Amino acid sequence: MIEQLNHRLRLTLADSRVMVGQMLAFDKHMNLVLADCEEFRTVKTKGEAKGKAKQIKRTLGLVILRGESIVSLSVDAPPPTSAASRQAKAALAAGPGVGRPAGRGIPMAPPGMPPPGLAGPVRGMGGAAIAAGPVSFARPPPPMGGPPGAPPHGFRPPMPPPGFRPPMPPPGMGPPGFPPQPPAGFQPPYPRPPQGPPS
């Protein structure tokens, strides 16, 4: 099928219609895309001239045909020559527009320079004053007093609300700064040795 790309094809469909057009694309299901497509139908006339068939032509343009409906396919004409396509393009009149790269109204920056919209703060519109000089991020700022992770100088922890009782420590643990105590009712597995000066 790839050999027929851009050729003018004549296709017969399952409903006896005939399509003629330039094949632009196809897929594994033999679905086709035809450009400049024309449809030809044969219709039997009624009335005085019974039995005579009449062919009706209809111009469709760009068409996508389902491969399932195609019964036969034949090449009608070779692809158009490059001279013919050049003549067709020359026939199109040029418009008043000019081709330019798309942007947002901001002129292009010279190579190596940031675009004007990304160059930094505008003078007088926020940001550091020009007199302050450039900002350097080579090292972290100096600490605010105390080791890292410590609260800042002058920080006081919040006071608990009135009537608040601190929670009780878990069993076996005393208040901070005191040795741990055994739970209530705990009996050691062996008797304690007597304490005091040896006799």
Residue 20, pLDDT > 90, answer yes
**Which pLDDT tens digit goes with each residue over 131-141?**
555 665 666 66
Phi then psi for residue 54, to 5 deg, are -120, 135
What's the mean pLDDT in 178-196? 70
Per the CB < 8 A criterion, the answer to whether 21 and 34 are in contact is yes
Strand partners, 55: 42
Which residue has 């393009």 as its token pair?
Answer: 89
| Average pLDDT of the residues in 10-23 | 93
Residue type, 95: G
Residue pLDDT, tens place only, 48-105: 666 688 889 999 999 999 999 999 999 988 887 766 666 666 666 666 776 666 655 6
Give dist(CA 25, CA 35) in Å, integer: 10
Within its chain, how far is the Cα of 89 from the centroid?
Answer: 36
pLDDT tens digit sequence for 151-175: 777 788 788 888 888 777 776 666 6
C-alpha dihedral, 194 to 197 to 198 to 199, nearest 10°: -110
Give the pLDDT score at 146: 66
List the structure tokens of 128: 């550091």
pLDDT tops 80 at residue 106: no
CB-CB contact of 72 with 51 (8 Å)? no
Q: How far apart are CA 8 and CA 34, in angstroms?
A: 9
Do residues 23 and 73 touch, judged by C-beta distance below 8 A?
no
Q: How confident is the model at residue 41 (pLDDT cuts 50, 70, 90)?
A: very high
pTM of the prediction?
A: 0.41
pLDDT at position 72 is 93
Longest CA–CA span in the chain (Å) reads 147
